[in-house]
Chain A
Amino acid sequence: MLVTRGFKGKRRDGDADRLRLPPGQFLTPEFPVLTAGPTQHTRLDRWSLALQHGGSLLGKWSWDQFEALPQTEITCDIHCVTKWSKFDTRWRGVTIDDLLRAVGLDSAPTGFLMAHCDGGYTTNLLVADLIEARAMIATHFDDLPLLPSHGGPARLLVPHLYFWKSAKWVRRLAFRENDAPGFWESHGYHLRGDPWREQRYEGDR
């Protein structure tokens, strides 16, 4: 630990907040927007979500069909790799468990998954990080439809990983036999991205 001469820090959050903040993060009441390129605007009548395994389609939903799936609400803290964290965010959507159930599967067919999004964004995930109510396809934030700038109409929500894993504008979840880097993971960021282990960048343990 290198003490920075003269640095005291004035943003200090309360003890309870600090226990909830992963290392290197700070608390913000804002909801910053970070995206590598243009915001995508997808019309609901042209939207669909597909679940794939290899070359085969496990299931595909139109917007109306997707909205008819079991809905789950969760309140969670989110952590962006650019250092901000936001507490008690409220989301509604469909858990990955319910998506699997909807296509008649008791468990995921493989251990890895790539999320594909409008605009070409991808991110890789361990299936273990998605099941058992740990992740959802979110369509609502604070009871309102998710704005395009925040990933609407639907984004992946994996709150226990850095937020680049919660891919905006998600359209296709493809189960894979092996792991492979997605977009940011190919540009110097960590393959898994656990904020509590501070897995920000390639090479972080």
Chain B
Amino acid sequence: MINAATAAAQWRVATVTAIRAETATVKTISFDVPGWPGHLGGQHVDLRLTAEDGYVAQRSYSIASGAGTSPQIELTIDAVPDGEVSGFLHEELRIGDRIEICGPIGSYFAWSAEYDYGLLLIAGGSGIVPLMSMLRSRDAAGATQPARLLYSSRTIDRIIYRSELDRLAARGAQFTLTHTLTRNVPSGWTGERGRIGRVMLTRRQFTPAGNPDVYVCGPTRFVETIVEHLIKMGHVAGRVRTERFGPTGAIRT
């Protein structure tokens, strides 16, 4: 059993092994990290970028790949407007480049196969990333408890991991996927429309029945609104774990 939750985070030199576009503004970057101690689904890393004159920028990013001890990890990074670090990662970074990574960090907003309870996941935009890591971990671990994901995107082409999510959902009844689109909805769309509210949460069975673990990740106001609905619906506050981006995405620039 890996001890990712308690392994002391330390700086390691990672090498970029692959870069792929997920959407027009989102890329997944694969790294080889020799000595990586392994991680849990939902943990994050710090990246440290150093310019030639010694100027340093650090940012935190969620790990996208599933739990395990493989030295190959993936980060999925949203290019925020004028983002100092995300802009560099999107525009400048090439396969073979080396970059410093510290992690894994955070054992709270994380899923472990040791605690296979019913799982309710709610994502807004790139808030899907740590939740995808949990879903991948859960799939690889053969988790048996039901999981539901309600994923809010502006438009269909902004959905990250769309085909992989479809494959996971098609594999069995234990994972139920619902998308909602808040802006343009294409003809023939069978998912939800509009922002997530109490009616949608109830309709999609995001109820406290069975005392599930709940993880909500997205922009601050998205998370605040949804968590208030969840508490009013009777969810136990201690089972609702959240990760917020900050009002303008300042955390993940």
Contacts and interface: CB of A to CB of B under 8 A. Distances in A.
B51 to A, nearest CB: 5
B107 A9 contact: no
A204 to B, nearest CB: 8
Given A9-B57, A36-B109, A38-B227, A30 B247 contact: yes
Contacts of A24: 46, 48, 56, 58
Interface in B222-246: 224, 227-228, 230-231, 237-238, 240-242, 244-246
A84 B250 contact: yes
A34 B60 contact: no
A19 interface: no
A203 B104 CA distance: 13
Nearest to A183: B108
A39 B6 contact: no
Given A4-B50, A149-B224, A34 B241 contact: no
B248 A30 contact: yes
Contact of B97 (A4, A28, A184): A4
Contacts of A68: none
A202 B230 CA distance: 32
A35 B107 CA distance: 14
Interface residues of B, number: 55
B82 to A, nearest CB: 8
Contacts of A188: 5-6, 9, 105-107
B105 A33 contact: no
Nearest to A32: B246
B244 A32 contact: yes
Interface in B13-52: 13, 46, 48-52
Q: Which residue among B94, B100, B108, B238 has the maximum number of chain A CB atoms within 10 Å of its CB? A: B108
Nearest to A31: B247
B3 to A, nearest CB: 11
Given A83-B60, A188-B6, A1 B50 contact: yes
B250 A28 contact: yes
Contacts of B238: 37, 120
Contacts of A31: 247
B246 A34 contact: yes
Interface residues of A, number: 41
A12 B53 CA distance: 12
Contacts of B145: none
Contacts of B248: 30
Contacts of A32: 220, 244-247, 250-251
Contacts of B193: none
Contacts of A28: 250
Interface string A71-103: 000000000001110000000000000000000
B115 interface: no
A5 interface: yes
A10 B242 contact: no
A33 B51 contact: no
A55 interface: no
Nearest to A26: B57
A46 interface: no
A36 B108 contact: yes
A39 B227 contact: yes
Nearest to B239: A37
Nearest to A201: B9
A36 B242 contact: yes
Contacts of A36: 108-109, 241-242
Given A4-B99, A12-B55, 19 more contacts: A2-B13, A2-B99, A3-B50, A4-B49, A4-B50, A8-B55, A9-B55, A10-B82, A23-B56, A24-B56, A26-B57, A30-B247, A30-B250, A31-B247, A33-B224, A37-B242, A38-B242, A119-B237, A187-B108
Interface of A: 1-12, 23-26, 28, 30-39, 82-84, 119-120, 149, 183-184, 187-188, 200-203
